[in-house]
Amino acid sequence: MGLLAQRVALGTILLFAVSALIFAGTQILPGDIAQSILGQLATPVALANLRKEMGLNYPAYIRYFTWLGGILQGDLGTALTSKLDVATSIGERLWNTLFLAFWAAIVSIPLAIVLGLLGVRYRNGAIDKLISGLALVSTSVPEFFIGYLLIYFFAVKFQVFPGIATVYVGMPFLDKIKAIALPATVLTLLVLAHMMRMTRAAILNVMQSAYIETAELKGLTAFEIIWKHAFPNAIAPIINVVMLNLAFLVVGVVVVEVIFVYPGMGQYLVDHVAKRDVPVVQAVGLIFAAVYIFLNVIADVAAILANPRLRHPK
């Protein structure tokens, strides 16, 4: 329990540290926020009033703790450009991003494990080399290239799926699935190769153990040895890599959402970075950081629970 508490405490401390970095990063941006909002023709009086309204007259540390206090109470602030509550605006977009990440994970995680098992079963053979080669190609090609390639073939040429992934509240479920098919495919290809290769490596590492030789002497088939003996003992590192890639599916969607004009957190962030809407950028950045840290803590906890040597180090 002490080790689990330590992981949770470290995650909490890291989140506070990241919040300070996010706030500092938005404060040191060049230019005048008030000037960028009101434009070059704004009068000095209007600029002074806006700076006072935004609290820019206070020292940075006071503004940070005021912002952090609001976050802890569920207040993410108000968008400077639209004057809408940031928490309300983010709610639907966060759900859209999680919806996209969920379906990408549903496809990629089982497929990565199956391909990893096949790679171990036929290691150094034609199937293993084919899977490894395709994985290498998948990790080498940037996501924007894959995205535009899918749009060209499946949206423009064959017109199977829409090129713009538009979803909205009340949209029929099957229509949503069709709308996110292309961006979900891009995300699946991005994380599939990494998870597959790590799964293969973890199982191959376990295959060197003495009890695997015992299982072979008992006459078990190669698949039985891999599935019943090697895979359960390699589950800890596999869980770690799965959680890391789940974090990427949520946090690393910015480019994919922009390509497909998907109404998620990434698109929302890019739109408001361009508008220099600091409260929105801070809130989205902190949510992304919280998701990433939370999933990493979950990975650490799962690894501890799955590995008796970590639970009982002595």
Task: Give mean pLDDT in consecutive 10-residue pieces for the chain, a chain of 314 residues.
Answer: 80 92 83 71 81 78 90 86 86 92 94 92 89 85 92 93 91 94 93 90 87 82 85 84 89 91 92 84 92 88 70 58
Do 45 and 119 lie in a common domain? no
What is the pLDDT at residue 58?
Answer: 80
3-state helix, strand, coil in the chain (%, to 5): 75, 0, 25
Beta bridge mates, 85: 78
Q: Are 219 and 102 part of one and the same domain?
A: yes
Residue 56: inside a domain: yes
Alpha helices in 74-224 (DSSP H): 86-121, 126-140, 143-150, 173-179, 181-206, 210-217, 222-224
For residue 269, being part of any structural domain is answered with: no
Please say whether the beta carbons of 238 and 198 come within 8 A: yes
One-letter amino acid identity for 192? L
Q: Distance between CA 261 and CA 166 in Å, rounded?
A: 7
| Together in a domain, 192 and 253 | yes
250 plus 298 within the same structural domain: no
Give the SS3 label for residue 78. strand
- Does residue 215 sit within a domain? yes
Helices H / strands E in the chain, number of each: 17, 0
Looking at the structure, tell me whether residues 112 and 246 fall in a common domain: yes
Range of the domain at 78: 1-85+277-314
**Residue 313 falls within a domain, yes or no?**
yes
CB atoms within 10 A of CB 176: 18
Q: Are residues 171 and 234 in the same domain?
A: yes
117 and 144 share a domain? yes
Does residue 189 form part of some domain?
Answer: yes
DSSP state of 312: S
Same domain, 53 and 122: no
pLDDT at 312: 60
What is the number of structural domains in the chain? 2
Q: What is the pTM of this model?
A: 0.86
Which residue, among 76, 89, 12, 97, has the nearest Cα to 283 in the 3D structure? 76
* Per-residue model confidence (pLDDT) at position 233: 82
| Whether residue 251 sits in one domain with residue 125 | yes
Single-letter residue type at 156: V
Same domain, 110 and 71: no
**Confidence at residue 307, expressed as pLDDT on a 0 to 100 scale:** 65
To the nearest 10°, report the CA torsion of 144, 147, 153, 158. -150
Q: Do 39 and 148 belong together in one domain?
A: no
Q: Are residues 131 and 237 in the same domain?
A: yes
Q: State the CATH number of the domain containing residue 255.
A: 1.10.3720.10
Indicate the Cα dihedral angle 105, 109, 112, 117, nearest 10°.
-170
